[in-house]
Amino acid sequence: MLSLDNAFSFDALRDFDRRVREGSGREEIEYIAEHKFDGLSISLLYEDSVLVRGLRAATARRART
């Protein structure tokens, strides 16, 4: 999970996009943006409506499922 940090210019957005594409090995990326609340970053993966993985970005620790 990458963070956009404080991007205040199109150059900063382009740099973020470049890093994501290079890191993923993909040429095209689809983004979804949401308001960020400091200290509340998690990534949840569901398969067939069942939680299979959780990750807290701040500590990079996996949640037990």
The span from the CA of 54 to the CA of 25, in Å, is 23
Written as six digits, the tokens of 52 are 């299979």
Name the catalytic one among 14, 36, 53, 62.
36
**List of residues 6+ apart from 61 with CB closer than 8 A:** 55
Assess whether 58 carries a catalytic annotation: no
Catalytic residues: 36
